[in-house]
């Protein structure tokens, strides 16, 4: 009867250990599945503290007011660039991030500029400048000074105005794909 009691006592313990084992296995498989899903890109876990993951990149809103080039340099010092965007979803995400951080659609630097040649727009991270939401008659290079892209001018959705690159604005950095 002593052996029988021992078995009864051990049995729940074995079941419990086995559950933990299966839970661990389940988590490992889930992690593996996530890694495969985001193959070649960052997972949300790879973003530094304070950065927000979106679509394989990490983004951060920096509230310090800086000229465009100093904003870009600050992003570079954090292994990123001023944010580029390539779809309406990414643009909406960026506007939402700014809104969440500041409570409004605050004017913000992003990574587009035409400083090498007037009218030839580029992203500072080297990606192709294809996506754009220029407003009517923009970019119009008013006073020959508009070479850096500011979004949310007066809270407006369309890229209605670029502005002097020397203006001091908060900015969005993104870490590369």
Name the minimum Å distance from CB 151 to Ca ion.
16
Name the minimum Å distance from CB 90 to Ca ion.
23
Residue 147 is a binding residue for Ca ion (CB under 5 A): yes
| C-alpha span between 74 and 92 (Å, rounded) | 23
Residue 125 is a binding residue for Ca ion (CB under 5 A): no
Residue 114 is a binding residue for Ca ion (CB under 5 A): yes
Confirm if 174 and 76 have CB atoms less than 8 A apart. no
Q: Which long-range contacts (CB under 8 A, 24 or more apart) does 16-24 make?
A: none
Confirm if 83 and 94 have CB atoms less than 8 A apart. yes
Which tokens go with 170?
């908060």
Name the minimum Å distance from CB 141 to Ca ion.
4
Nearer to Ca ion, 72 or 114 (CB): 114
Residue 41 is a binding residue for Ca ion (CB under 5 A): no
Nearer to Ca ion, 72 or 146 (CB): 146
Name the minimum Å distance from CB 139 to Ca ion.
6
Residue 160 is a binding residue for Ca ion (CB under 5 A): no
C-alpha torsion sign, points 10, 12, 15, 17? negative
Nearer to Ca ion, 147 or 153 (CB): 147
Residue 141 is a binding residue for Ca ion (CB under 5 A): yes
Subset of 71-90 contacting Ca ion (CB under 5 A): none
Nearer to Ca ion, 2 or 137 (CB): 137
3-state helix, strand, coil in the chain (%, to 5): 40, 25, 40
Name the minimum Å distance from CB 62 to Ca ion.
24
Which tokens go with 166?
């020397």
Confirm if 124 and 85 have CB atoms less than 8 A apart. no
| C-alpha span between 94 and 84 (Å, rounded) | 10
Interface residues with Ca ion (CB under 5 A) are 114, 141, 146-147
């Amino acid at each position: 009867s002593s052996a029988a009691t021992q078995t009864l006592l051990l049995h729940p313990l074995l079941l419990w250990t086995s559950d933990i084992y299966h839970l661990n296995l389940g988590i490992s498989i889930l992690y593996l599945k996530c890694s495969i899903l985001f193959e070649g890109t960052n997972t949300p876990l790879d973003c530094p503290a304070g950065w927000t993951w979106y679509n394989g990149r990490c983004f951060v809103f920096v509230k310090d007011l800086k000229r465009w080039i100093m904003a870009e340099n600050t992003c570079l010092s954090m292994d990123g660039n001023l944010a580029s965007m390539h779809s309406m979803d990414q643009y909406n995400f960026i506007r939402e991030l700014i809104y969440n951080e500041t409570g409004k659609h605050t004017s913000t630097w992003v990574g587009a500029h035409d400083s090498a040649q007037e009218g030839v727009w580029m992203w500072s991270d080297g990606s192709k400048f294809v996506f754009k939401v220029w407003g009517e008659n923009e970019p119009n290079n008013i006073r020959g000074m508009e070479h850096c892209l500011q979004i949310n001018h007066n809270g407006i959705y369309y890229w209605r105005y670029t502005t002097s690159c020397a203006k001091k604005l908060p900015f969005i950095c993104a870490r590369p794909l």
